[in-house]
Amino acid sequence: MACTLRTDNAPGNDSTVRYLVTLAITALASLTAGCAALLTAGPAPMPKTTDDFCARAQAAIVGAQPIARNEVHTNLDTFVKSKPVARPLVTTQYVTRERDTPDAVPMLVSCKMKTADHLVSEYGADAAGADIGCKGVNEITLREVLASLSPEERRRLRFDGGRRVSFDEDIVTTLGPVWLESYAFARIGGDGGLHLQSKAMRNDWLDPRYLNAPAQFRGTRYCHLVAPEHLRRLLLGEVAPISAS
| Per-domain residue ranges of the chain | 1-41, 53-235
Label residue 37 by pLDDT band (50, 70, 90). Answer: very low
Task: Give me the mean pLDDT over the 51-67 stretch.
Answer: 98
Q: Strand 194-196 vs strand 165-167: parallel, antiparallel, or unpaired?
A: parallel
Task: Give me the mean pLDDT over the 198-220 stretch.
Answer: 95
Average pLDDT of the chain? 86
Label residue 129 by pLDDT band (50, 70, 90). Answer: very high
Nearest to 56 by CA among 223, 242, 239, 232: 223
**What percent of the chain lies above the pLDDT cut of 70?**
82
Q: DSSP secondary-structure letter at 68? A: P
Residue 243: predicted pLDDT: 53
> Which residue has better confidence, 109 or 32?
109
Task: Give me the mean pLDDT over the 99-113 stretch.
Answer: 95
Cβ atoms of 75 and 67 within 8 Å: the answer is no
φ, ψ of residue 140 in degrees (nearest 5) = -65, -40
Task: Give me the mean pLDDT over the 61-75 stretch.
Answer: 98
Nearest to 62 by CA among 147, 151, 122: 122
Answering whether pTM is above 0.85, one says: no
Distance, in Å, from the CA atom of 40 to the CA atom of 148, rounded to the nearest integer, reads: 15
* Cα separations in angstroms, 180 against 58, 174, 201, 222, 233: 19, 11, 10, 10, 24
The 3-state DSSP class for residue 85 equals strand
Residue 242: predicted pLDDT: 73
Label residue 70 by pLDDT band (50, 70, 90). Answer: very high
Cβ atoms of 54 and 109 within 8 Å: the answer is yes
Task: Give me the mean pLDDT over the 210-226 stretch.
Answer: 95
Query: Is pLDDT above 80 for 232?
Result: yes
